[in-house]
Structure 1
Amino acid sequence: MAYEELIRKIDSRLNEILPSEGVLSEEMRYAVFPGGKRIRPILTLLAAGVYSDDMNKAIDLAAAIEMIHSFSIIHDDLPSMDNETLRRGKPPLYMKYGEGLAVITGDALFNEAFGLLARSGNLPAPTSIRIIRELTDCLGVSGVAGGQMTELSLSEENPTIEELKEIYRGKTGGLISASVKTGAIAGGCPDSEINIFESYGENLGIAFQILDDLDEFIKGEVRSGEPNIAEIFSPELARDLFREKIALSVTCLEPLGNRAQALKEFSAFIENSLPDI
């Protein structure tokens, strides 16, 4: 699978959607372009492809997923959260435009994402409503917001493995799981198979966060006060858990047989990104 082609499709649609002039146009485009790996929208399209030969029916959903991810990055980068000083090779949005404007830009992208889903004619209205419901569930207290809150409220200096996995399950796994699950819904997944995609995304999401932890640990970029599994325990333990979660993500797909080959290959793609210690 040529992921570059999917990234071009996603970026092209984002370029069409985001305003090129007017209020917050510059700030929103600064946040979205140039993109990162586009992991989440790629997963959305691959999951839709399990049930449909026409991935374009999920392209607006994929774009919305990336806009939601950009919103979360903008807020995560703020001094009161992760206090990032570099994002995708350039200053984070708050450093360029100020904290107030960064918050507003993130809110605008969040709103535009759900507006796009509500307006899109690519999917039947009942399907769009279900997708919106799934996304709000993943972003709330049982998902991304809950994971962030758990991270902020950790009272122990050294959290347990289970506490870290719970943070990762919400903070990173929440949106990744929703990206896969909603993509499958857009493609026409029957209710009897939807949990397969939720489990796949959850395991892959935890693996992806561990990969990020390892990368920061190896580069010496672990931030003070932010839990990092490689630093708290060991990089060897982190690598083992990463491989375990990748293997589980593939195992989750077994009931789908060859229909899920593209998602299995994507798990392998993530596994091959594991850095040397």
Structure 2
Amino acid sequence: MPWKAFQEQVAVRMESLLTEQINALPEHHSNLKAAMQHSLLAGGKRMRPFLVYAAGEILHVDKANLDMCALAVECIHTYSLIHDDLPAMDDDDLRRGKPTCHVVYGEASAILAGDSLQTLAFDILANYPAPATLERVKLVSILSRAAGYQGMCGGQALDLAATNKTVSLSALHQIHELKTGALIKSCIEMVCALAHLNEQETDSFSQYAHALGLAFQVRDDILDVTSDTQTLGKPQGSDQDANKSTFPSLMGLEQAQQYLQDLHQQALHALDAIPYNTELLNAFSHYVVQREH
């Protein structure tokens, strides 16, 4: 199947599954539930679920298991976006072309919506209907490490600490390997765990995800310079306005664009070492480095 058609199938499936999760929640606080739904069902690229389903398709993993992982990782990702947009963090009022959660529902509800989505992710990993033999603890371990101090939250803390400072290129790599890359890697690592791959095969998949995660961030940084707010669906130039170090600001735009292509080749090289049909992941890497928003 062409990757674009596969991506559209993932988007439709995720919309349905995420809606089911929200609708299943009790109604004891409709405002909090609405705040969660506002961000969780706001669309987006569903990049992380795509990686889960694409790797699962390659490795013939049970669809119910993939649903569970895709739902959990998208809840974590959405919670991170809600909190990133808060005035105490990046202070953004636009996300995916819509007002951010705290703009619509207030800061307190946005914080609680993020907290609720984070815990919902692990509730899903613990309780989602799936084969009894599933190693749920392994999945929880992978996702919690990627989302917490050793991953996304740690990267966000480093990013905040670097605001109004010029950091080294190695420091910028560390920020984004944690803030963006860790969660992207977890998508692949969870599927590898479900498929019981050996260490060498898992490492090749992990190298692909590592290069892809950095490429995604470099492309984001480039678009923040070259695109516009309407196309991006969020404020253009927000990194520059916040006085943050980015790959173009440290390397120059031309070198950042070349680095993006280098990361793309690293991702493709990692796929070459995988003894499966990796056409979907190959095509997705091309998309990541060429996307316009």
Q: What TM-score results when the alignment is normalised by the length of structure 2?
A: 0.87
Amino acid at match of 2:76: I
Unaligned runs of 5+ in 1: none
* Alpha-carbon distance, 1:81 to partner: 0.6
Query: What number of residue pairs does the alignment pair up?
Result: 275
Corresponding residue for residue 5 of structure 1 = 9
Corresponding residue for residue 186 of structure 2 = 178
| 214-223 or 157-166, which deviates more | 214-223
Tell me how far apart the structure 2 counterparts of residues 101 and 70 of structure 1 sit (CA, whole Å): 14
**Deviations, residues 23-60 of structure 1 (Å, cap 9, x unaligned):** 22211110111210000111011111221164343112
Of 153, 158, 169 in structure 1, the residue corresponding to residue 177 of structure 2 is 169
Amino acid at match of 1:253: L
* Contact 1:180/1:197 (<8 A) preserved: yes
* Alpha-carbon distance, 1:242 to partner: 1.0
Of 210, 222, 240 in structure 2, the residue corresponding to residue 202 of structure 1 is 210
Tell me how far apart the structure 1 counterparts of residues 95 and 164 of structure 2 sit (CA, whole Å): 29
Are residues 1:18 and 2:22 paired? yes
Corresponding residue for residue 278 of structure 2 = 260
Tell me how far apart the structure 1 counterparts of residues 224 and 112 of structure 2 sit (CA, whole Å): 29
Matched position secondary structure for 1:253: helix
Of 63, 84, 95 in structure 2, the residue corresponding to residue 87 of structure 1 is 95
Of 242, 248, 253 in structure 1, the residue corresponding to residue 266 of structure 2 is 248
Corresponding residue for residue 271 of structure 1 = 289
Tell me how far apart the structure 1 counterparts of residues 276 and 60 of structure 2 sit (CA, whole Å): 14
Corresponding residue for residue 222 of structure 1 = 238
* Alpha-carbon distance, 1:188 to partner: 4.0
Of 137, 150, 155 in structure 2, the residue corresponding to residue 129 of structure 1 is 137
Tell me how far apart the structure 1 counterparts of residues 275 and 200 of structure 2 sit (CA, whole Å): 15
Q: What TM-score results when the alignment is normalised by the length of structure 1?
A: 0.92
Pairs within 5 Å for 1:89-108: 89-108=97-116
* Alpha-carbon distance, 1:187 to partner: 3.7
* Contact 1:13/1:63 (<8 A) preserved: yes
* Contact 2:49/2:71 (<8 A) preserved: yes
| 70-79 or 189-198, which deviates more | 189-198
Tell me how far apart the structure 1 counterparts of residues 211 and 101 of structure 2 sit (CA, whole Å): 30
Corresponding residue for residue 197 of structure 2 = 189
C-alpha RMSD of matched pairs (Å): 2.0
Tell me how far apart the structure 1 counterparts of residues 106 and 244 of structure 2 sit (CA, whole Å): 23
* Contact 2:165/2:244 (<8 A) preserved: no
Corresponding residue for residue 67 of structure 1 = 75
Tell me how far apart the structure 2 counterparts of residues 81 and 221 of structure 1 sit (CA, whole Å): 16
Tell me how far apart the structure 2 counterparts of residues 81 and 156 of structure 1 sit (CA, whole Å): 13
| 201-210 or 50-59, which deviates more | 50-59
